[in-house]
Structure 1
Amino acid sequence: MISFLRKIRQKLLSENRFTRYLIYALGEIALVMVGILLALQVNTWNETRKDKKKEAAFLNQIHNEFTDNKAQFESLRALHSKSLESCDWMLENQPFTSVSIDSLRYHSLWSRVSYTFDPSYSSIESLVNSGAIDLIQDVDLRNALIGWKDLLVDYLEEEKEMREFTTAHVIPFTLENFKLYNEEERFDAVLNFDQKQLNKYLNLIARKKRILQAILYGFVEQDLGGNTQSEVQKVVSTMDLIIDRTKQNK
C-alpha cells in the first residue's frame, strides 16, 4: 500500500514539473511572439512615417509648381483675350480709311502676336517615374496628377496650331508687306494695300480670331455622367483641384 502511494506521489510530482515546464515554455513562446509583433508594428510605423514625410514633400512641391502654373495660365488668357479684341477691331474697322494710325498700329500688332502656355510639371514626372505615385493617399488628387499630361496635350493643340499658323503665314506676310524702317514696322502700309493684299491680310486675321476663340473657349464635351466641360474648363478645374488638395501641406 505504501509503495503504491509513493508511486502516485512520484507521478504527480513528475506531472507537476511537466506542467510547470509547459507553462514556462508557452510563456517564453508568447513573449517571443509579442516581441516579434511589436518589432513589426514599430517597423510599420516607421515606414508609414517615412512615406508620410515623402508624400508631404511631393505635395508641397506640386502645390508650389501649380500655383505658378495657374498664375501663368491666367496671364496668358488675358493676353489671348487682348489679341482677340484686336482681331475683332481689325475686322470691324477695315479698310481702315477712317481710323487713327495709332489705333491701327496698336491693334495690328496685338492681332498678330502669339503666346503659348508652358507649365512646369517636373514634380509629377518625378512622382510617376520614381514609382512613388501610390504615396498620394487622396484618390481624386492622384487621378488628376496622372491625367494632367494628357489633358495638357489636348489643350495645347490649339495653341500649337496658332504658333504654326503664325510662323507659316502671319510672319511671312508681315515681312513682305510691312516694310521695316529704323527697326520699326510701317503699320500705315496697310492703308496702301490693293484689294488682293487687303483680302489676304483680313483672312489671316479672321483665321487667327477663330484659333483664339478655340483657345479661350474650347470645344464643349459631355462626360459619362452627363456633365459638360470644355478643354479650357477641364484644365482650370484640374489645376484648382491640385492646388486645393495640396495646400494643407504648405
Structure 2
Amino acid sequence: MIKFFRNIRKKLLNEGKTSRYFKYAIGEIILVVIGILIALQINNWNEKRKSNKMAYEVYTNLLTSLEQDSIEVERTVSLLTKSLETQKKLILNQSNQFTKQLNQNDLDKMVQEVFSGVMSFFPKTGVYELITSNNSMDLLQSENIKSLLINLYDFQYKRYENVDAIVDYKYHYHLGSLIRKKLGFIVEYNSESKLNVIKGVDPVQFNAHYDELVSECQDVYGVLSTSNNYLIEIKKSINELQLLIRKELKDN
C-alpha cells in the first residue's frame, strides 16, 4: 500500500503537476492521521473493556467477602446483644433471690448467655488487602464505594479490633475465669463456633459467688456495649456497600 502511494506521488512530480502533488500529499497525511486516531480509539476501547472486566471481578470478589462478613457480624451482634441483656438483668438485680427460682437448664442458659459475650467478629480482609496492594482500587469508578471501603477496612474494623481485644482480656482473665473456675461452667466451641455446654453451673457455687459475678458483669458491660455498637455500625456499612456494589455490577 505504501509503495502504491509512493508511485502516485512520483508520477505526479514527473508530470509536473506540483499543485496536485501537494493536494494529494496533504490528503495522504490526513488519511494517515485518521488511521492513527482510529487505531488509538480501538486501543482505548480494548483497554476500557479490559478495565471494566477487571473491575467486575474486583466488585464480585468484594461482594462475596462482604456477604460472608455480613453473616458473621449478624451472628456476633446477636450473641453480644443477648449477653448484654442478661448481664444487665444481673446488674439490676443485686440480690440473687430471683436466680434461686431457676432450674438447672435456666441457670445454664443464663450463664451461657453471659459467656457468649466473649465471641468475636473476624472480618475477611484478604480481598481488600489484595486490591490495595496491587492498585486495583483505581479500577473502581465509584468514589463513594472507594471511600466506604477505606472507612470500613482501615477504620471501623481496626477500631473494633482494639475494643474487642479489651473484651477478650476481661473475659479471659476475669469474667470468663470466674465462670469456669468458680461456677464450674465449662463449654466448648463446635465447628460452627457455637457454644456447647460440657459441664453445667454448680448452683451452690453460683449463689456463693453471685456478688462477684455481678461485679465482673459491671466491669465488662461498658466495653462490651461499645464493642457491640461498633459492630452494629459495621453491619450498616457492610449492607450499604453491598447495595452499591450490586448496583455497579447490574449497571455494568
Aligned identity (percent) is 21
Which runs of structure 2 are paired with 1:210-221 in the superposition (5 Å)? 210-217=222-229
Q: Deviations over 1:7-29 (max 9, x none)?
A: xxxxxx99961101101111111
Match of 2:216 among 179, 204, 209: 204
More displaced 10-residue stretch of structure 1: 139-148 or 231-240? 231-240
Q: TM-score, normalised by structure 2?
A: 0.78
Aligned twin of 2:175 = 170
Distance 1:95 1:101, change over 3 A: farther
Structure 1: distance between partners of 2:78 and 2:133? 34
Distance 1:174 1:240, change over 3 A: closer
Q: CA RMSD in A?
A: 2.6
Aligned twin of 1:138 = 142
Residue 190 (structure 1) aligned with residue 193 (structure 2)? no
Distance 1:180 1:161, change over 3 A: closer
Aligned twin of 2:239 = 240
Residue 37 (structure 1) aligned with residue 37 (structure 2)? yes
Matched residue type, 2:234: V
Equivalences, count? 222
Distance 1:233 1:83, change over 3 A: closer
Structure 2: distance between partners of 1:234 and 1:90? 27
Aligned twin of 2:59 = 59
The answer as to whether partners of 2:77 and 2:232 remain within 8 angstroms in 1 is no
Secondary structure of the structure 2 residue equivalent to 1:111: helix
Structure 1: distance between partners of 2:160 and 2:207? 39
Aligned twin of 1:78 = 78
Matched residue type, 1:206: Q
Q: Deviations over 1:106-150 (max 9, x none)?
A: 212211231111121222111111111111000100111222222
Distance 1:243 1:215, change over 3 A: same
Secondary structure of the structure 1 residue equivalent to 2:135: coil
Secondary structure of the structure 1 residue equivalent to 2:129: helix
Aligned twin of 2:166 = 161
Structure 1: distance between partners of 2:54 and 2:238? 22
Structure 1: distance between partners of 2:27 and 2:184? 98
Deviation for aligned residue 1:232? 4.7
The answer as to whether partners of 1:59 and 1:246 remain within 8 angstroms in 2 is yes
The answer as to whether partners of 1:87 and 1:111 remain within 8 angstroms in 2 is yes
Q: TM-score, normalised by structure 1?
A: 0.79
Structure 1: unaligned runs, 5 residues or longer:
1-12, 218-230
The answer as to whether partners of 2:77 and 2:231 remain within 8 angstroms in 1 is no
More displaced 10-residue stretch of structure 1: 240-249 or 184-193? 184-193
